[in-house]
Structure 1
Amino acid sequence: MTISVPATSANLGPGFDTLGLALSLYNEIDIKRANFSSISIIGEGAENIKLKKNNLFLSIFNEIYYELTGKKDSFRMVFKNHIPFSRGLGSSSAVITSAIASAYAMAEFKIDKNVVLNRSLVYENHPDNISPAVLGGFVTSVVHNNQVNSIKKAIGDDIKAVVVIPDKPMSTKESRTKLPKHYSMSECVSNLSHSAFLTACFLEEKYDLLKIASKDMMHEELRMQTLPELFDVRKTAYENGALMSTLSGSGSTFLNITYKSDAANLQERLKDKFKNFRVEILSFDNNGFIISKS
C-alpha cells in the first residue's frame, strides 16, 4: 500500500490550536510485507541516521497494528518526504496520522477518518494540524470529551498559498515557552472575535477580509522575534498582494494567501528579497490522507 499525507498550516493567526488548512505538499510512504523490517528515507530527513533508529511512524504503526491484529509482522517501508521538519508545516502530524491510517489498512480494517483523527489526538493533543492532515481543506475543530469535532470547508482554486520557508527551523516545544501564562481580557476577546471572523471568511469565501480577520494578539509576534526577518516577510507580502500573511504553526514558515492571479508576482518579489529562503506556490489539498493499495 501507499499513503499520501499533506502538509498543514495551523493557527492561521488568531486560531491558536484550533484552525488549520491542508497544503499540496506531501509525504508518501510505501509499505510492503517482508521477511524482515527495513526503512528507507528519500528527501527530507534522508541524511538523519536517528530517524531510522528512532522512527515515530514505525513506533505508532507497530503499536496500532499489534493492537488490531495481535501480531508483530515485518514490513518494508520507503518514506518519500517533502514536508520540511520543524518548519511549521505539520511534519509531526503527517507522521502521526499516516502511521495510524496505515496500520488500519495493513491490518485490513476499514479506514474511518474520524477514528484516525481521534486516535491521533493521543499523540498530538490539539487538533489544528491533525484535522486538516486527515480531512483536507480548511478545518475548524474543537475537542469535547476527548473527542475531536471538526467542520471542513473545501478551498477552491481561485486562491493559492505562497509559503516562505526559512533555512532555520523552529521548535514548537521551545517556542511555546516564550508565550505568557496569562492573557488580558482584551487579548482573549480580540483573538476570539478574529478567529470566529476568520472562520466565517473561509466558510463564506470572503477572502478580501482575511487580512482583518487574521490579526493575532496571543503568540505570533512573540514567536517571530526568534527570526526577525519574518516581520519583513509579512510587510513585503502585504505590499505585493497578499490577502493574509501569518506564521505557519509555530514557524519558521510564513503562510501567505493570495488570489491565483497574484501568486506568481508575490512569489517573485519574496524570492528577490529573501534569497536564502525557499518560496513556493502551493494549492490547497481538499482530501487529507489518501491510501492506495497494490
Structure 2
Amino acid sequence: MGKVIRVRVPATSANLGSGFDALGVALTLYNELCFYEDDGDGIRVEVEGLGRGEIPTALSENMASIAMAEAAALNGTALPKSGVLRLINRIPPARGLGSSSAALAGGIFLGNVLTGGGLDRQAMLNAVTKLEGHPDNVAPALCGGLCISVMDGGRTITQVVSLDEELSFIAVSPSVEVPTERARAVLPQTLAYKDGVFNVGRVALLVTAFITKHYEHLPYGLEDKLHMPYRLPLIPGGAKVLQAAVDAGALGVTVSGSGSTIIAFATKNEAAVQAAMEDAFMQAGLTASGHILKACNEGAKLI
C-alpha cells in the first residue's frame, strides 16, 4: 500500500431556524475520506461505519468520488489510475446533519490534493456549491464555524464566524428519515410579506446572538415562519421533542437541516437535554441517539 492521504470533514447543521438556506454551522462530529494508490484496476470506493451497504460505491453515483472528479477536471489533471477511496462515516446519513455535504466537501478537498492543489478554498466552495445546489451545509463543511452564505451568480459569498467553546449543540437523530425531496415539497411557493419581515429580524438577532454570546436571545432568533411550520409535522413527535429540550434547560431548539435530527443549544445541563429529547422521541414510538457537540471552527482538512 502506498502513501495514505486522509481528509477529515465535519458534520453540519443548516438553517438554524430563521436562517433558511443561508446559515450553517460545522460541528465536532467527523467523517474521514482516505485514499491510497495501488496497482489494482481503477479506483474503488469502500464504505465503513454508518451507511455501509446503503451508500452507492459506483464512481458515477458516489458523491465523494463525483466531487473528486470535479476537482480533477478543474485542475486539468487526472486522478490516480488506481486506488481505494475509503469513506469512514460517523455522521448519520439522511438525518439533517450534512452527510451528503461532508461527502462533497471532503471529495473536492481530497481530489484537489490528489491533482496538484490548484484550487483555493473559494474555488472549491464555488464548485461544491454547484454540485450541492445551495451553500448552507457545504460552506461550513469546507470552511468551518458559523457560515452566513449567499449566492452571486456562480460565486458563493460566505462570512465565517468562529463560535465559542462554551456553547454546546445537542443533536438527537430519530430512527426515521425525512428525505430532502419531501421536506422541500411541503414548502409553500409564496409567503405573506409579514412572514418575510418576521424572519429578517429573527435571523439578524440570531447571528448577533452567536457573535456577541448573548445566548439568551437564541430562542427568539431561532423562531421561523419560512420552513419550520411545514417541516416539523414530518417528524413524529417533533413538537414534543422541541418542548422537552426547553423544559430540560436548552436555550433554544430547532430542526437540523430538513430533519429528522432535532438540535438544541445549551451552555449547561447538556446530558439532561439529550436524555429528555431521546425520551420524547421514544414516547412517539421512535428510537433515537444523540451527540453533545461543539462548534468546529475549522472545516475540511488533511490529518
TM-score interval, normalised by the smaller of the two chains: over 0.9
Q: Which runs of 5+ in 1 are unaligned?
A: none
Aligned-partner Cα distance in 2 for 1:66–1:133: 21
Partner of residue 208, structure 2: 200
- Match of 1:215, SS state, is coil
| 1:2-58 deviations in Å (ceiling 9; x for gaps) | 01100100000011100110111111011012223222211111122x611231211
Matches within 5 A, 1:248-267: 248-259=256-267, 261-267=268-274
Is residue 2:54 matched to residue 1:43? no
Aligned-partner Cα distance in 2 for 1:126–1:40: 27
Give the partner amino acid of 2:90.
H
Partner of residue 287, structure 1: 298
Once the two structures are overlaid, the 10-residue window that deviates more, 79-88 or 52-61, is 52-61
Aligned-partner Cα distance in 2 for 1:13–1:109: 36
| 1:223-255 deviations in Å (ceiling 9; x for gaps) | 111123110010001111111101001000001
Aligned-partner Cα distance in 1 for 2:301–2:242: 33
Partner of residue 209, structure 1: 217
Partner of residue 270, structure 1: 277
In the TM superposition, what is the alpha-carbon distance from 1:107 to its structure 2 partner? 1.0
- Match of 2:191, SS state, is coil
Partner of residue 161, structure 2: 153
Give the partner amino acid of 2:62.
N
Residue 72 of structure 2, aligned match among 56, 59, 65:
65
Q: Is the 8 A contact 2:77 2:115 kept in 1?
A: no
Aligned-partner Cα distance in 2 for 1:204–1:63: 38
Aligned-partner Cα distance in 2 for 1:154–1:94: 19
Once the two structures are overlaid, the 10-residue window that deviates more, 191-200 or 70-79, is 70-79
Residue 246 of structure 2, aligned match among 238, 242, 251:
238
- Match of 2:31, SS state, is strand
- Match of 1:42, SS state, is strand
| 1:127-186 deviations in Å (ceiling 9; x for gaps) | 111111111111111112321111111111111111110100111122111110000001
Once the two structures are overlaid, the 10-residue window that deviates more, 240-249 or 34-43, is 34-43
- Match of 2:269, SS state, is helix
Partner of residue 76, structure 1: 84
CA spacing shift, 1:94–1:204, aligned 2, 3 Å: same
Q: Is the 8 A contact 1:45 1:51 kept in 2?
A: no
Write out the 4+ residue segments of structure 1 that deviate beyond 6 Å after TM superposition.
Answer: none
Q: Is the 8 A contact 1:5 1:28 kept in 2?
A: yes
Which one scores higher on RCO, CA 8 angstroms, separation ≥ 6?
A: 1
Aligned-partner Cα distance in 1 for 2:15–2:117: 32
- Match of 1:51, SS state, is coil
Aligned-partner Cα distance in 2 for 1:76–1:128: 30
Aligned-partner Cα distance in 2 for 1:161–1:75: 37
Q: Is the 8 A contact 1:9 1:129 kept in 2?
A: yes
Give the total of aligned pairs: 290
- Match of 2:224, SS state, is coil
Partner of residue 12, structure 2: 8
In the TM superposition, what is the alpha-carbon distance from 1:111 to its structure 2 partner? 5.2
Q: Which runs of 5+ in 2 are unaligned?
A: none
Q: CA RMSD in A?
A: 1.5
Partner of residue 99, structure 1: 107
In the TM superposition, what is the alpha-carbon distance from 1:69 to its structure 2 partner? 4.1
- Tell me the TM-score normalised to structure 2 length: 0.91
In the TM superposition, what is the alpha-carbon distance from 1:126 to its structure 2 partner? 1.6
Give the partner amino acid of 1:52.
T
| 1:63-115 deviations in Å (ceiling 9; x for gaps) | 43244244352221111001111111111111111111111101122552111
